[in-house]
Homo-oligomer: A and B are copies of this chain.
Amino acid sequence: MAHQTVGHPVRPGLPDDPRAGVTEPTPACPVEITLAALHGRWTTLVVRELLRGDRTFTELREALPALSDKVLSERLAHLVRMGVIDRHRRAGWPPRVRYTLTAHGRDLGPVLQALWDWGARHRPLPPGEPGGS
């Protein structure tokens, strides 16, 4: 997926960020950056679990039973690369790894809230409902 700008039109008083005028999906756009962080199936659910508190790999698997090891592993690595979560290894046996949100990760709370709010207000067309115009 790829996305972009917006913001300038929504807030005419915004700083004249040149990224608000891009004409193609570029990774430099802030909207792209955020959607890239949340990209992938299960990603928002993993973030939600971590918003409730730090978790181990197994705890996440138990919270999301239908999520496979491979995909969970991928999602966690992705979120670490995106600076959303941190990975903490505890020495000894058995290996224990805890995942916690970074400061940036915690800042995703309001973003997910905005996504929730719009979806909650929106009727998912049951079927044949235009919208409201």
Binding site for B on A (CB under 8 A): 1-7, 9-11, 17, 22-25, 27-35, 37-45, 47-48, 51-52, 63-67, 80-86, 100-105, 107-125, 129-133
Q: Return A63 CB to nearest CB of chain B, in Å.
A: 7
Copies of this protein chain in the complex: 2
CB pair B29 A119 closer than 8 Å: yes
Contact of A40 among B1, B82, B130 (CB under 8 A): B1
Q: Return A6 CB to nearest CB of chain B, in Å.
A: 4
CB pair B83 A31 closer than 8 Å: no
CB pair B83 A103 closer than 8 Å: no
CB pair A25 B41 closer than 8 Å: yes
